[in-house]
Structure 1
Amino acid sequence: MKKIQLKILETSDVHGAIFPIHYGTNEPAAHGLARLSTAIKKVRKESDDVLLIDNGDFLQGTPLASFYFRSLRRGIHPMIKAMNALQYDAAVLGNHEFNYGLEILDKASQDANFPFLSANTLHKKTHQPYFGQPYIIKSFAGGIKAAVLGITTGYIPNWEKPEHISELIFTDAVAAADKWVRYIREVEKPDMMIVSYHGGFEVDLSKKERIEMKEKGENQAYRICTEVEGIDVLLTGHQHRIAAEFVNGVAVVQPGFSGTAIGQVTAEFHVSQEKIELGNVSIEIIEAKDFEADRAILELAQEEEKQAQQWLDEVIGTIEGDMQIDDPFQARLKEHPLIELVNRVQMEAAQTDISCTALFHNEAKGLPSKATMRDIVSNYIYPNSLAVIEITGEEMKRALERSASYFTILPDGRAGVSSKFSYPKPQHYNYDMWEGINYTINVHQAPGSRIEKLTYHGEPVEADRLYRVVMNNYRAGGGGDYFMFKGKKVIKEIQDDMAELLANYIKSHGTIKAEVNHNWRVVY
């Protein structure tokens, strides 16, 4: 009887990060697909049988990716070029793959030398997997057969622009996994069943406590591990966590985001003439920081990177005063000129007088005195457009209460971030700050009862009165658990990318004053 090893490598949530740099500063970073390439090549050199899978969210996320979508759409996406060179076996669709619509996604699929998998992303007319293949079968030494089934979080309709997914339906991830695992086991009879699910865990694995509403269905990895029989390995993502553990006997890995790590599963098979048996399975995380960037991968995207860097360095205007961010929490606790500017731009573009937006991530540095496109896209990192929706005063208050639950009071009496916005995935982008209304957040009160002194034009906001509010398309669709917005009447859509709107506003005004009008405050 022979022993044969199969190594399964997973990348996930790379988000267009090829180069090992922070685009906001161009300083070196311990991440990126070029670093991971060196690790992948090392594993392949040491092992005969290797399976390489990307678990989704690979097309969108860096200024390089943004520049491709703005200016280079007819060429091959830099990430696809790099993944082709690395000979990926398959890639699963993540939620951000749909951010630029199906035409762009279709092109990426055609340019890729590997299949896009998603068993529960179906064509609306045929109810068949949109890209045809829900799974792949790969054969290795000794006749070993490994199956890889792709599953995508079914929560996408709650985030994505309807026109981007109008031809699609997304079915429940657990039901799809159960259906296809049974089918693959019965028909293909693989020696190893791998499910690659672009989604994370709805349960805190250490405490076995639910961390997500049961009916939400954004992350269902725990249910997949415990309710679907026949899975040997579950590759996960979406939550941007680092994880390597066994759940109900299933080997589970999740490798962070932006190419910070690779998840590795090593499976040992006992092979004889009569049968193939799966033996010991081990799991680990390989970190990018331990590897130098692969020059061959960098060179593939060098021309696009050069053009993107030139675009990023374009000075678009002057900031008078201080619009920089030293402490992102303080920029959420008290009014900040950057947030004021974003809301101002949204209101002007939409011709409405109420707006809300978020400070999307903790790496946002604000705008320096000479603002460039690099500063814009480093602060406003998502390809959002805008929508004006009509909501009642009661729904406005519920939305404000959702935002107000971002805060908690720490043991020393200081304000801090609620664990619901920081674990298992940081969700700072789900705390909104509003303009055009006045309100107070009283953190001493229980969540759901924190909004006080809510007024519009000096008068109390009326529960049954309709108000028009501009916000990004993600929020307008109910994204971030703002269910009170979902399905609301859209009065107006502004299809221009919000980063472009910001840049054009600054260019047209030349000089922007860093100022706030103190229309809201947090009491703690």
Structure 2
Amino acid sequence: MTLPEATGLYRRYAKTQTTLDLRVMQTTDLHAHIMAYDYLADRPSDRTGLVRLASLIRSARAEQANTILLDTGDFLQGTILGDVHAMSRKAGTNDTHPMIAAMNSLGYDAGTLGNHDFNYGLPFLVDTLQQAEFPVVCANVARKLGDTATNDATLLPPWTILARRLRDQCGNWQDLKIGIIGVLPPQTEIWERAHLEGHLHTRDMLKAARGHLPALRAAGADIVILLSHSGIAPDTGMRRTENAALQLAALCDVDAVLCGHQHQMFPGPDFEGIAGVDTKAGTLHGKPAVMAGFWGSHLGVIDLKLAKDHNGWQIISHRSNLRPICDPQADAGQGRALVADDGTVAALTLDAHHRTLTHMRRLVGHSSKPLHSFFALVADDPSLQLVAEAQRVRVAKILEGTTYADLPLLSAVAPFKAGGLAGPTHFTDVPAGPLCIRNLADLYLFPNRLSAVTVTGTALMDWLEHAAGQFCLIRKGKPDQMLRDASFPCHNFDVICGLRYTIDPFVPPRFAPDGRLQHPNSRRVRDITYDNRPVQPDQTYVVATNNYRANGGGFASAVAMTEIRLDRPQGRGSETIRAVLADHISRHSVITPSTTPVWRFVSAPGTTALFDSAPAAAEALHDLTGVRIESAGPGPNGFMRFRLYF
């Protein structure tokens, strides 16, 4: 590949003939998507899978003599296959993790961790990483924090140096030392508190990188690539920020940044308008960067041209790009594969794939009606309410005879599959009839654990206010305004069952999507009642929820809550909500989903808003009650657009 001649600097070095090309390839947020298969729908998928990405990796290597392959975390959790392997390890088997086996076969050079890699516990993670034939580094997770980053007792090496002998443009061998350092969001310590409390601590990513980079350079690194399981966001000056890739790129000892965590694409338009970000050139503060989507959707590629003089090696030009495994626009938005499966990765994963199919097809119960999330972000939803009821029943049983038993008990749930970046097929869609394990995973995507918290009425109001931030500011009397803020994650739209309330999107949101208070005098959520009585600011409530939310996940400091220690009967350990849901359904044998009124929008005649959902949602409009929604024709990227009347 011919790189742009970035200045007279390039021409000067070209004359020295001591230049070489290095291709840096990135995967990120694979989330145990190895096979090109949707386990929740029980059908092949052209949109995901390391098995497809592997074909791109091999072709990208064939194009360039000098390459390295790196991963930026969240590779162990995210599919039923990952769950099944974790369960088998707990049962005493010692098989190599199928994701690690695939990565070993592809010759990964290094990687770092993401927050979800801790989902199955610290012992599981440590044992799994021992199977990796490549170094995994992380500079800001420590068993014990010291007075400075360099004195931390880090869980993993904070950095490593890849010593490579590479061909220069004249065909001569050159020695290059590539420094690799990794970081992840410090909030991991909070999100995974049940696993990590008392065992691991996190440091601010910038402080950790600043502390360790001098030693990495002193050890002889010619260039430094920072593996950031962290996304791109404006610099707000906040400490311990979650998405700090832009700020990390500004560090003088960093030459390139591989980003992740946000499940977005860079270069690309997702980050337009942020100071220091060039979405076309693919740079952060002028440094080459890339973010390769999620679930194996893209291969990130940074092509570097390096030159050597008496001061050593330096980057004189660069180009960042993404290579997709699928054309998402093809076949009416269903997507079409651009590459075939890699035979080696497929063969390595086949046994794990078959075990997963057997597990996910196990019968749990029956449903008399379909369950879907097509309208879960805009109206009361029976699939969410089924999960909420299972949580509520279990927590009520556990708290019997305790001081919490007489407090009002609520249950908070959010839709995990509601379209967005994952496309028009990413919705819960369970037909009436048999319910299998895969259907429960479709209803509840993550292996979160059941938790309960106490909150005051004031905190409860703020909880709902944060959820109401998913809606754009709507103008009364105007037709067809876009309803949803695309930057607001659907999994943070909590619905709190047991309450009744109204949402007013005609006033600004009180909280920003990251939990920052942005309009202190604004209140979108009104008429909040429990048992037909207004919620009182000083009243205490118990809320059944998941461990991620109980540990502050998604809220930052927006909502004050205190977690209740749930002592399970018969010595039961920490229960996943999926297991709670399975028990709830099996005890009823046949469930009949119904919708209880929880929330609605305020009325505003003459006002409409648009939102996107699955094409199949058009046939489910008759399921809605208490809200007027109609089809508005095809939407972008294979979605169907709908019109909501206020």
Provide TM-score, normalisation by structure 2: 0.75
SS in 1 for 2:23: strand
Cα distance in 2, alignment partners of residues 50 and 459 from structure 1: 65
Q: Specify the alignment match of 1:436 in structure 2.
A: 498
Query: 1:333 aligns to what?
Result: 378
Q: How does 1:151-230 map to 2 (within 5 A)?
A: 151-185=183-217, 187-203=218-234, 214-215=238-239, 217-226=241-250, 228-230=251-253
3-state DSSP of counterpart to 1:483: coil
Partners of 1:277 and 1:125 in 2: how far apart? Answer: 34
Deviations 1:403-436 (A, max 9, x none): 11212255754575443xx22xx51000001111
Query: Match of 2:630?
Result: none
Matches within 5 A, 1:43-442: 43-73=60-90, 74=93, 75-124=95-144, 127-141=152-166, 142-185=174-217, 187-203=218-234, 214-215=238-239, 217-226=241-250, 228-244=251-267, 245-271=282-308, 275-289=312-326, 290-325=338-373, 327=374, 330-351=375-396, 353-362=409-418, 363-369=426-432, 370-409=434-473, 412-413=478-479, 416-419=482-485, 422-423=486-487, 427-442=489-504
Distance 1:42 1:273 in 2: 35
| 1:455 aligned onto 2:529 | yes
Q: Is the 8 A contact 1:101 1:163 kept in 2?
A: yes
- Per the TM alignment, residue 137 of structure 1 is displaced from its structure 2 partner at its CA by 3.0
Specify whether residues 511 and 231 from structure 1 end up closer, same or farther in structure 2 by C-alpha distance, changes over 3 A only.
same
Q: Give the C-alpha shift of residue 72 in structure 1.
A: 4.3
Tell me by how many angstroms 1:215 deviates.
Answer: 4.7
The residue type paired with residue 376 of structure 2 is A
Partner-residue secondary structure (3-state), 2:55: helix
Give the paired residue count: 508
| Range with greater deviation from structure 2 (151-160 or 80-89) | 151-160
- Residue in 1 that maps onto 2:605: none
**Quick one: distance in 1 between partners of 2:132 and 2:535?**
52
Q: Which amino acid aligns with 2:431?
A: P
Question: Which amino acid is 2:293 matched to?
Answer: G
Q: Deviations over 1:295-348 (max 9, x none)?
A: 1101111111101111112232111233234x2xx2222111111101100001
Q: Is the 8 A contact 2:161 2:177 kept in 1?
A: no
- 1:451-503 CA-to-partner distances (Å, cap 9, x unmatched) read 21211122211111111111111111111116355561425266211111112
Q: Which structure is higher in RCO with an 8 Å CA cutoff and minimum separation 6?
A: 1
**Aligned match of 1:23:** 39
| Inter-partner Cα distance in structure 2 for 1:22 and 1:481 | 30
1:136 to partner: Cα distance? 2.9
**Ranges in structure 1 where 5+ consecutive residues have no aligned partner:** 204-209
CA distance in 2, matches of 1:104, 1:416: 44
- In structure 2, the gaps of 5 or more residues are 1-16, 147-151, 167-173, 268-281, 327-337, 397-404, 419-425, 511-522, 569-573, 603-645
Show CA shifts across 1:341-391 (max 9, x none).
011000011007311110112223243212221111123111111111111
Q: For structure 1, which segment, 473-482 or 153-162, has the greater mean C-alpha deviation from structure 2 after superposition?
A: 153-162
% identical equivalent positions: 27
Measured in 2, the distance between the counterparts of 1:505 and 1:489 equals 23
Which residue of structure 2 lines up, in the alignment, with residue 206 of structure 1?
none
Name the structure 2 match of 1:207: none
* Structure 1 residue 182, shift from structure 2 partner: 2.3
Assess, with a 3 A threshold, how the Cα gap between structure 1 residues 385 and 112 changes in structure 2: closer, same or farther. same
Instruction: Please name the residue that 2:589 is paired with.
Output: 510
The aligned residue for residue 477 of structure 1 is 551
Does the residue aligned with 1:144 lie in a helix, a strand or coil? Answer: strand
Aligned partners of 1:477 and 1:485 also within 8 Å = no
Corresponding residue SS for 2:116: helix
> TM-score by structure 1 length?
0.92
Structure of greater Rg = 2
